[in-house]
Amino acid sequence: MKMLTFRLTGKKIAIAAAAAALITALIVHLSGTGMEKPPADNGRTNEQRVAYLLEMGWDVASEPVEQREFLMPSELDQTLISYNELQKKQGFDLAPYCGKLVTTYSYEVRNYRDATDYILARLYVFDGKVIAGDISSATMNGFTYGLNGESGL
């Protein structure tokens, strides 16, 4: 049987502690890489939601035309997967909200380019945070775009 022995000196302990601190800092830094920041608290009040849409370039009515709560399905079906792809293009992701009670607010858009149809800006809010949104027309030849007006379905 062989035994390994070594003598710890103050210098070796200091080097080991510095290496452990460096490795810990590296792990903490890398674990945050690629992770999305939680959404800002931008949907708690009507004023915050209207201001958010204004920041996105949309002039909307001062009050929502519709507000409703719904339970997100526990899993995204094919339709929601497609819609979520649109949301991911603008930095959102609905997957973490599966099974959660979400509120949607719909506002009439007053500055959509060449609009002859009734255009809505829709925000999905969970716990006071905008988690998704779109610009849409519900007409026969309607459309759904991201809040940036691009990346439609």
pLDDT tens digits, 95-119:
999 999 999 999 999 999 877 788 9
pLDDT tens digits, 50-75:
999 999 999 999 999 999 999 999 99
What's the mean pLDDT in 141-153? 83
Structural tokens at position 48 = 């915050």
Give 79's DSSP letter.
Answer: H
CA distance 121 to 145: 10
pLDDT for position 10: 56
User: Structural domain boundaries of the chain?
Assistant: 8-37, 46-145
pLDDT tens digits, 5-55:
546 565 544 444 443 443 443 343 444 434 344 456 899 999 999 999 999
Separation in Å, CA 83 to CA 44, 90, 103, 133: 23, 12, 17, 10
Residue 62: φ, ψ to 5°:
-75, -15
Structural tokens at position 134 = 């779109």
Residue 25: φ, ψ to 5°:
-60, -40
Q: How many residues does the chain have?
A: 153
Lowest mean pLDDT among 45-49, 87-91, 125-129, 138-142: 138-142
Q: CB neighbours (10 Å) of residue 52?
A: 20
CA distance 75 to 95: 8
